[in-house]
Chain A
Amino acid sequence: MTAMLKLEDISHTYQTGEVETRVLEGVTLEVREGEFLAVMGPSGCGKSTLLNIVGFLDSPSSGSYVFEGEEVARYPEKRLTELRRASIGFVFQSFNLIEDLTAEENVEIGLIYRRMPGAQRRERIADALAQVGLSHRAGFLPKQLSGGQQQRVAVARALVSNPRLILADEPTGSLDSANGDAIIELLTGLNAKGTTLVMVTHSLAYAAAASRVVRMLDGRIVSETDMGL
């Protein structure tokens, strides 16, 4: 399998006032086309930061990041936005739905910046909601949905644009196990259809579904386990 993206010797620091926090330290990681990579590690070890860098939400302080053959580590914000628009879908732990938009409209946010004709857009949204089993809740506001349903809306929002890479940051963290299982089922289903998936999780059971697991500690990758196929 070919590499989709390649991080090499990535370091990242946050500047908060006078204090400089070093969050990532010499991280080298390769994600292959179509694989399911699970990232594990204690709270605060830098998993979200890593995911943000992979998803172009942040640029690394140093190191190299090659995405589909392009060196993107020093790209300006504008190019990063284009890349993100073209290839990435996000799922967050805290759902991050917009409170006063309906489920349908929240899903639409995943498409709205991709400039697509209205009819085609509506079709895609209906499809996405059907995939997560929420067609009957399309007109509901987030606060009228359960936590599991809200996260399924978030998954629909991530997949509606047919991204090649989905980044999920503890997608089950705020959910009970039944709802969590449903979300993992959705995500693995997408992966089976060819979408590359990188997921941060604390659950060994969910990590077991992955093709590869990396473990982090204090901003470094300490182990890499190929789950074997």
Chain B
Amino acid sequence: MFRTYLAAALRHLAYNRLYAAINIAGLALGFATVILIALYVRNELSFDSGLPGADHTYLAVARASGPRGEPIGFASTPPALAAQLLARSNIDAVARMAEDQGIVSHDGKPSRHVENFAYADPDIASVIPWPALYGVFDGALDAPDSAVITRKIALAYFGKENPIGETIEISPLSDPRGTHSLRIMAVLKDLPAETTWTAEILVSGRAAFSTFNYRPAWPCSTCIGGGNTHTYVRLRPGTNIESASLDLVPITKLHQRPDIRGMENPPVEPSMIIALCGVGGLVMLIAAINFITLFTARMTRRLVEVGVRKVAGARQGDLILQFVGENLLHITIGLIIGVAVVEQLIGPMNALLNRNIGFNWIRDIELIGLILLIWLVTGALAATYPALILSGFRPAQVLRTAPMVGRAGERGRQVVVVVQFALLITLMICSAVIYRQTGYAKDAGTRLNMDGVLIAWTCNPALRNEIVRIPGVEATTCSSWNALGQTEMANRKRQGPLALQADYVDYGFFELYGVKPLAGRLFDRTLPKDKGAWDNDPPTDDAAAYQLRHVILNAAAVKASGFPSPVAAIEKTVTVTEGNTRHSVQVIGVVPDFSVESVRQSVPAAAFGIMPYPMELMSIKLRPDRRRQTRSVIEAVWTRLGNQPKSIYSLKGYVAREFSDMQNLSAFVACCAGAALMVACLGLFGLSAVAAEQRTREIGIRKAMGAGRSDIVEWLVRRYMVPVVAANLLAWPIAYMLMGQWLSGFASHVDMELWIFAASSACALAIAWLTVCLHALIIAAGKPAKALRYE
């Protein structure tokens, strides 16, 4: 009995190769997409859990509030916090890590690019006991001149895995504190991709030049809340800490907390994850719809078989068994192919997303569970659906009189085609909007003219003087990085009157970036008060504070200070904070909001002022022609003046790199949407095949009555216009709502333009025409005699 059914199923598969192929391909693609998305999302949610002892390890996060009063956290905490925490009884260990950038060299050969490194307390080995390959991590950072590196760094600089005892030289970039020689004490296993700990060189926090010990002579504008020190804590199991100003966040949860600012490895936009899950759901939905419609279509073709079997005495159960068996066969084959596809795509996906996601369908219990779940759910669908159809089935109806030109199930299929097209159009619109938004983020969204701008991590006056004289250079200016990439500072609003964060720029900063004043004027070299001054001039002691007198506000600051308009703010007095002091300054101009970070977060209120000493960042605007040559001239000057190469970047490239995670993820979302599109197209192709097949006789009749090939194609195409138009009516509002929701998660975003909608619809129409024409051509090209004989 089973053997005859299996034979029937296999024979049916062989006879209906087209349907089987469409069905299986659709299922395989759908399964593969869903598995890939699931793997990625799981990876995203499992950040940092690969670190040993992750369960008891926490990051101290400072509580603060954002510009709209929303709670935010800062991953950076004052270096002194560690000592305070250690006094508590329920804490096992505390260690700080602070990232910095620098030129790294060994044997006089400098690094090819700027390397990230971190200052770390020796206790880091007890808080995060990451395994060492050579040497012992515990105690390795005890000496002030010690360093620990990963295997990757060892291979890059020493050409071997075990350079213990050798030395490496580091010159921190942000301020020229000289070159420091450090002894390698341990080589660590390479860090996993899924961690918020990104530095692969750890320098002992006891080094005199470490940010824990070094107090810069001027306000450190890159330091947030006392430098970018991250304080890691290992709690005694089962205890917790209550504190008004502090949260201890489990490190395994850090990556899902977009409200925490200042992480080296920023959390992925949650909206992207939502979009991805949405696409995954859609793929499954489309695959399921395809499956059902193709099954129904096949059923109508096989009604006579069912009727005859019933007349011959087959019971409902037998028939259901037969069809369920056939469907399960398809699903199983689809799943196997899907798994094979994932096997192939996991590598490219890891490369794109810079992850190290494994695909081990033999040992990974969760993954096996997921695959089984997919199999069970689709299998259940495959089982209940035929049962439903067959239970309402009357054999007498099917085995009736002479066959007519049938269009059985036409209405139902029309509905499915409409739904399918609606999904297709929605997906296209959504992918286009997501893609445009991510592109916007790194360019127009900054509202700065970054064209032809290079940035260098120093604003050494001697160097700047040389660079200005190069003919291809239009202008240069100095600023803090914060002036460009304004990020939220801990807001001290609650403890007194509003004080604006001061950001430092030089003359010509706004001009270089094409920022025009909304009111008032920009800084003027000829007016001495535009520049700040020391409060006790000349500076005599360490506590001397530098004070601004005139500032330019951004639009957000105008609003935050309660002025009704930019013009109203001119000549008024506001309070700014500089370092630890606050004082009154006069507003001379207002500029629009801008920031290279402005897409992720709303631009914070800022007051720009001019300070007289060198700042950390030089912006160099190149003339439009021969930019490449100009750049090499600049690099030559740079090297001649004793600086290392390659710490000059194109600002556009730098920002693009900052946003590359978002961009790559959006590319991944687009790929998944593409897979969904393909599944949908396969379904449409199958449906149009069914429709065309059902119409074969009708086409034959029409041809006998004198219809030519073009008449038939035209007739079919016109029939497909209706569902596409209906699908648009459905898809447009849905896509509009979905994307409106998604875009509202960004501080600054693109508009949903009509042409995206129109183009998506045109695409859908083209797809419809293509599939139908293909079919119509195949049928219409045949001899009509053949079609008429068709039953």
Contacts and interface: CB of A to CB of B under 8 A. Distances in A.
A and B co-occur in one complex:
yes
Interface of A: 49, 52, 55, 57-59, 77-78, 81-82, 84-85, 88, 90, 92, 94-100, 109-110, 112-114, 142-143, 157, 161, 174
Nearest to A154: B701
A109 B406 contact: no
A113 B697 contact: no
B704 interface: yes
Contacts of A78: 708-709
Given A52-B785, A77-B781, A90 B404 contact: no
Contact of B707 (A52, A81, A90, A174): A81
A103 B463 CA distance: 92
A81 B703 contact: yes
Interface of B: 402-407, 697-698, 700-709, 711, 781, 783-786, 788
Given A52-B785, A57-B785, A77-B781, A98 B698 contact: yes
A113 B709 contact: no
Contacts of B709: 77-78, 81
Contacts of A55: 704
B404 A81 contact: no
Given A109-B702, A110-B705, 19 more contacts: A57-B785, A57-B788, A58-B786, A77-B781, A78-B709, A81-B708, A81-B709, A84-B704, A94-B403, A96-B405, A97-B405, A98-B405, A98-B698, A99-B404, A99-B406, A109-B701, A113-B702, A113-B706, A113-B711
B438 to A, nearest CB: 49
A96 B402 contact: no
B405 A113 contact: no
B783 to A, nearest CB: 5
Contacts of A77: 709, 781, 783
Nearest to A163: B706
A55 B697 CA distance: 17
Nearest to A89: B705
B402 A174 contact: yes
A34 B709 CA distance: 31
Contact of B407 (A92, A100, A109, A143): A100
B730 to A, nearest CB: 25
A146 to B, nearest CB: 12
Contact of B783 (A59, A90, A112, A157): A59
B34 to A, nearest CB: 39
Contacts of B702: 109, 113
26 contacts: A52-B785, A55-B704, A57-B703, A57-B785, A57-B788, A58-B784, A59-B783, A77-B781, A77-B783, A81-B703, A81-B707, A82-B708, A84-B704, A84-B706, A85-B706, A85-B708, A92-B788, A94-B403, A96-B405, A96-B697, A98-B698, A100-B407, A109-B705, A112-B705, A113-B711, A161-B706
Nearest to A59: B783
B785 A157 contact: no
Nearest to A110: B705
Contacts of B783: 57-59, 77
A97 B705 CA distance: 12
A99 B788 contact: no
A157 B707 CA distance: 14
Given A57-B784, A78-B709, A99 B703 contact: no
A81 B402 contact: no
A55 B704 CA distance: 8
Contacts of B402: 94-95, 174
Contacts of A81: 703, 706-709
